[in-house]
Structure 1
Amino acid sequence: MKLYDAAWAPSPRRVRIFLAEKGIEIERVMVDLRQNEQLSDPYLAVNPRGAVPALELDDGEVICESAAICRYFEAIQPEPSLFGETPLDIGRIESWTRRIESDGYAAAVYALRNARPNFEDRGLPGKWPSVPQIPELSARGVIMWEAFTEALDTWLKDREWIATDAYSFADISALVTIDFAKAAKLAVSEESRNILRWHAAASSRPSAAA
């Protein structure tokens, strides 16, 4: 099998961190997003949505979406568990992951794609018809980001990791989101000391450099 990857994009990075935590090595095929290689015919034959990452299995089937790819590898290699072992931990990790995606990651995407000139007519990632930028969505992203980081900082007050007592997929998702948000000029306030403490710990793990 092989993973279609991209060096600086957040979703492929989420998979790379996950695989590094698992100690799984896999063939990687780099897709150059700066050259719009994700929209080229060869890659669209792999993933017609024109988005990365994509996991091509040995039989030719392709799994798309970073969370789905990570779920696949969790099922293949359950240890160390990153999606939770008990029903309660599974629920906690899933709940926080969805919140991070809908409140934090979406905020960064809104702010980035609706404000940066290089995303003109590319308001959505992947292969779409021309999608104009909506400045109001960029402003909404800023509001969402501030609310998200304030809530996360409060939650982390007496916690080492986000969802459970152990590092999990929720932490991976948050790390990727916060680092990605910098491209949209969304930062974590210096007053958010709990997030900064958590971020330092998550960033110091060897997997963060994957």
Structure 2
Amino acid sequence: MKFYDCSTAPSPRRVRIFIAEKDLEIETVNISIADGEQLSDEFRAVNPNCTLPALEIDDGPNILNTAGIWAYLEDKFPEPPLMGRTAAEKGHIADIRWQIEFNGSMGMAEALRNSTPRMKGRALPGPDNYEQIPELAERGKARALKFMDRIEGMIGEKPFVAGDSYSVADIDLMVFLDFARWLKMGLPDEAKNAQRWYKAVSSRPSAKL
């Protein structure tokens, strides 16, 4: 296997954390998005979508997104389980992940990619160029802020986002919060349960990656 990473991007970081939590050793190649290496002919041969992360495997076609890589590695290396043990757990974790992705991460991506000067003409990742839309930046920030206010209720008294065990839902939410600093956003001070949860998950060795 060969993992194509980018040390500065949130989606590859989610896979790095997953790999570390599984205690796996996988050959890694760092691709610099800042230098446009994801658009090179060499990387297009790996992933014609020109996005990261990507995983080359020996028993099938390359896997070209975070969710696919997680699913493959979870099946290949089931311990410790990070996507649930039972059907109910798997469904619950997938449901929470969608809430984080749709309401939080996608809103933040809209805000960043449609306002950051260095992303001018690159408002969407991939092989094609798209101009920024300032109104999308405002809407994205509003979506991310509304989601931020809901995290306290999402965590509640639980030790982890989806229940009693650490899972990919915790990875998704922590990476969202860390990347939200680019928008100068963070958990409300009064969100005590969310603050407790964040302190715990961000102290795990994998969170340093």
Normalised TM-score (structure 2): 0.96
Q: Distance in 1 between matches of 2:175 and 2:78?
A: 22
If asked which structure has higher relative contact order (CA below 8 Å, sep 6+), I would say: 1
C-alpha contact (below 8 Å) 1:92/1:164 kept by paired residues: no
Partner of 1:179: 178
CA shift for structure 1 position 86:
1.1
Q: Distance in 2 between matches of 1:84 and 1:187?
A: 28
Which sections of structure 2, spanning at least 5 residues, go unmatched? none
Structure 1 residues 186 and 125, CA gap change in structure 2 (3 angstroms): farther
SS of equivalent residue, structure 1 residue 3:
strand
CA shift for structure 1 position 60:
7.1
**CA deviation digits over 1:9-52, x for unaligned, max 9?**
11111001001111111000110111000001100111001001
Aligned residue identity for 1:206: P
Is 1:160 aligned to 2:173, yes or no? no
Aligned residue identity for 1:111: A
Partner of 1:68: 68
**CA deviation digits over 1:176-205, x for unaligned, max 9?**
111112123332222323222211111001
Partner of 1:151: 150
**CA deviation digits over 1:129-173, x for unaligned, max 9?**
x31111111111121112211111122221111112111010011
CA RMSD across the alignment: 1.3
Partner of 2:41: 41
Which sections of structure 1, spanning at least 5 residues, go unmatched? none
Normalised TM-score (structure 1): 0.95
